[in-house]
Amino acid sequence: MTILITGAAGFIGSHVAQALLARGDQVVGIDNLNDYYSVALKRARLEQLEGKPGFRFIKADVSDKASIAEVLAQVKAGGEDITGIVHLAAQAGVRYSLENPYAYADANVMGQVVMLEAARSLDRLDHFVYASSSSVYGSNTKLPFSIDDPVDHPVSLYAATKRAGELITHSFSHIHKLPATGLRFFTVYGPWGRPDMAAYLFCDAIMAGRPIRVFNEGRMERDFTYIDDIVAGVVAALDRPATPDERGVPVRLYNLGNHRSENLLHFISVIEDALGRKAEKSLEPMQAGDVPATYADIAATRRDLGFDPATPIEVGIPRFVAWYKAYHGIV
């Protein structure tokens, strides 16, 4: 099979590419290598993939329909048939959406439309899998978050664009009978993780002797999910094309989370133990667009995808810290 992965230089995308290559799939990876965070880190991830049998990288922007049309033309010219798309490219980050809302409309809304149009143009496509987010649950207070919960009150533009992606995909699936599965990721962490995420930010600050910013004065809980568990869920979803629902629409949504909500202060203490250093904490109020708690109900994901996350933060955080030290040359 040839699988097209968008956001292939990203955290989750590069890991998914590794997993698909390891089982013998052909992978075409695309990414625009933007500078939202370190391009050097993105290129380092790609270096882990380039040269591996079956991998091919094409620089492209998912919000640019001409760019994606060129990608499809190149793949077709090479005699390949794309049978699956894993669409992970997005403008991430809740807080950055307060500064640059246009980036979210371009990448997360236009990008979704462009990739769905690309998907329906392919003759042999079996499944379109795409990234959504736990942020769509917004101001919901019922825990754990279930895919059956209403998601009509997003508290950030990022969340609104991810929910828009779900709705746009539903309309495409309804009209074109395109099998599509959306995955709501819950706070993913692990080796090669993003520098704007908590684990990386905290490690950077602690190693530099800077205070770490602890929002809502630490009264936060997150369903931290290790990257290997997320990858297993993505691959399981890809291998199980969505079947028609009760309305005849071949579309599905699933939570991918650890099904275990951790207190932020405990998360920090595990990082401290792994680093062998204590953090200086700057206790701050809740930031606009943030939510106090996330917690995934994964009953449907377990039932349909066989998803069974197995990595607690006491195991995952030391693995992340070991990678962080190696990547930064810290002895």
- Say how far apart CA 106 and CA 247 lie, in whole Å: 30
Q: Is residue 277 part of a domain?
A: no
Residues facing residue 283 across a β-bridge: 214
The mean pLDDT of 62-85, rounded to a whole number, is 95
> Exposed, middle or buried, 329 (CB in 10 Å: 0-12/13-18/19+)?
exposed
Number of structural domains the chain divides into: 1
pLDDT by residue (tens digit) across 309-329?
Answer: 999 999 999 999 999 999 999
Q: Report how far Cα 207 is from the mean position of its chain's Cα atoms.
A: 26
- Say how far apart CA 174 and CA 179 lie, in whole Å: 9
CATH of the domain at 134: 3.40.50.720
User: Which is more confident, 153 or 87?
Assistant: 87
- Catalytic center residues: 158
pLDDT by residue (tens digit) across 23-33?
Answer: 999 999 999 99
- Amino acid making up residue 236: A
- Provide the whole-model pTM: 0.96
Q: Is residue 202 part of a domain?
A: no
In sequence order, the 6+-apart residues with CB closer than 8 A to the CB of 262 are 221, 222, 223, 224, 313
The mean pLDDT of 63-87, rounded to a whole number, is 95
Tell me how many degrees the CA angle 159-292-234 measures, rounded to the nearest 5: 50
CB 231: neighbour CB atoms within 10 A? 20
Average pLDDT, the chain: 95
Q: Is residue 71 part of a domain?
A: yes
Query: Phi and psi at residue 128, in whole multiples of 5°?
Result: -115, 110
Boundaries of domain holding 11: 2-186+226-258+295-310
pLDDT band at 78 (very low <50, low <70, confident <90, very high): confident
Buried b (16+ CB within 10 A) or exposed e, 179-217: bbbbbbbbbbbbbbbbeebbbbebbebbeeeeebebbbe
289 has pLDDT over 70: no
Q: Is residue 221 part of a domain?
A: no
Q: Is residue 117 part of a domain?
A: yes
pLDDT by residue (tens digit) across 182-206?
Answer: 999 999 999 999 999 999 999 999 9
Percent of the chain with pLDDT over 70: 100
